[in-house]
Structure 1
Amino acid sequence: MRIGILGAGNMAEALGTQWTRAGHQVMVSGRDPAKPRALAERLGPSARSGTFAEAAEFGDVVLVAVLHSAVTGVLTAAGAETGTLRGKVLIDCTNAVVPDRFALDLPAGASMAEQIADQAVGAHVVKAFNACNESVWRLTPPVFDGRPLIVPLCGDDAEAIAIVRSLVTDIGCEPADGGPLERASLLEATTAFMIGLWFRGVDAQAMLPPQKYGTSA
């Protein structure tokens, strides 16, 4: 599969490394050509670098992997408003979390995923990979106490979800149906809440009981 990555930072490197190892072709991108070029060299012969527009054109799947404050400008540079991403699977792994407050830098009820869908004309947006730090995505595989990491996915297009599910399993994780894209706001808010707990020294995973206790009999 051809995967374009909008960005050349830590998330781009972590997921790009996993996907090139799984046999996918990857193009990383950035405003300064030197950074994505260096990253592509680290990723190996199945990776290349280019501009945001080139990565958007290259990928059957495109990953948005930049700071949330840069997303609008990067999508514009990629030609999102003019339909360059039409029909493509567009993965959003961003978190609009305000440092120190651990709250979302968004209007109430809004999500980054839905904002991206509004801007990226015709793209099939899937929210995924946002609930963990980039260091987790570097693990081979991300397994904790013998249990593979679950990656929730939110999206409206069944074919797009199926493709992202395959990319999740490629890195040794288990995909989970998180519902339609409108539920991405809940996933993003949950992530912000968990990040706040982790920074306070609380094991956020321990706040959830086993699944059998999660629903009434």
Structure 2
Amino acid sequence: MRKILLLAFAALALWASQAVADPLKIGVVGAGNVGGTLGTLWAQAGHPVMFSSRHPEQLASLAKAAGPNARAGSVADAVAWADVLVLAVPYGAMPAISEQLKGKLQGKVVFSASNPFSGRDGEVGSQALAEGVAQADQRYLPGAALVRGFNAIGYGAMKSQAQRNVAIPTFADDARARQVGAQLVRDAGFVPVLVPLARANEGLPGGPLGGANSEAQLREKLGL
């Protein structure tokens, strides 16, 4: 029995060390329901997280609830500090975000969980849906290594489905973006399934890749 317990503790220690073996400084731009939930999952997994918005003084309670790995700051603070930026803003804000981040994204991984809606986001949303959300992202975020994920799962499901082998389509072409995107999906408690960026519209709300899918179900939908 003692030997079994020692082996169990060793396994837990190995898992814990692997979970934080490669921590990434994650700057979350937009700390509403989606950004707040994802940032909290990552902070609890061992990543340093900075929640940011136009009003960072309003994020203190969120950062405190997320635990000791979390803090709050301005968008400028997050961009300068982070290894990877996570966008969780209404898509109508993308022109303003683009202007604010101009010249600051060269080579930086940007993980977008932002979705365009024609009703909510007006012409900006309609145009993104028509041209393809990945193309719109790249137009607004020149120089960034882009990955998209968590686009067709609500924040409530992010909380309830974590650690339940739910697969998340993770759209990226750049090798670094694919690596970082897959790590962030895994560390949030989900299973990444890598998909070319050109198919990102399929992963939007109401698209064919939505829902809580197993890896096998998602791969079948993708034709992989």
**Residues 172, 212 of structure 1: CA spacing in aligned structure 2 closer, same or farther, 3 A cutoff?**
closer
Higher share in helix: 2
Cross-structure match for 1:120: 141
The alignment's TM-score, normalised by the length of structure 2, stands at 0.75
**Residues 142, 215 of structure 1: CA spacing in aligned structure 2 closer, same or farther, 3 A cutoff?**
closer
The alignment's TM-score, normalised by the length of structure 1, stands at 0.78
**Number of aligned positions between the proteins:** 194
Tell whether 2:172 aligns with 1:155. Answer: yes
**Residues 116, 151 of structure 1: CA spacing in aligned structure 2 closer, same or farther, 3 A cutoff?**
same
1:192 counterpart letter in structure 2: G
User: Do the aligned residues in 1 keep the contact of 2:111 with 2:148 (CA within 8 Å)?
Assistant: yes
Deviations 1:137-186, CA, capped at 9 Å, x for gaps = 1236252xxxx11111111201211111111111221111211x222123
Tell whether 2:149 aligns with 1:132. Answer: no
1:92 counterpart letter in structure 2: S
Deviations 1:10-56, CA, capped at 9 Å, x for gaps = 11111011101110000111111222233222212211111111111
Deviation beyond 4 Å, 4+ runs, structure 1: 209-216
User: Do the aligned residues in 2 keep the contact of 1:33 with 1:50 (CA within 8 Å)?
Assistant: yes
How far apart are the structure 2 equivalents of 1:64 and 1:211?
A: 24
Tell whether 2:195 aligns with 1:178. Answer: yes
Deviations 1:58-104, CA, capped at 9 Å, x for gaps = 11111001111112213322x2x22x12111101111112459xxx6
Find the partner of 2:49 among 13, 26, 30: 26
User: Do the aligned residues in 1 keep the contact of 2:44 with 2:67 (CA within 8 Å)?
Assistant: no
User: Do the aligned residues in 2 keep the contact of 1:8 with 1:35 (CA within 8 Å)?
Assistant: no
SS in 1 for 2:77: helix
**Residues 109, 36 of structure 1: CA spacing in aligned structure 2 closer, same or farther, 3 A cutoff?**
same
How far apart are the structure 2 equivalents of 1:2 and 1:168?
A: 15
Find the partner of 1:53 among 58, 70, 76: 76
1:184 counterpart letter in structure 2: A
Find the partner of 1:12 among 35, 40, 59: 35
Unaligned runs of at least 5 residues, structure 2: 1-23
SS in 2 for 1:49: strand
Unaligned runs of at least 5 residues, structure 1: 199-203
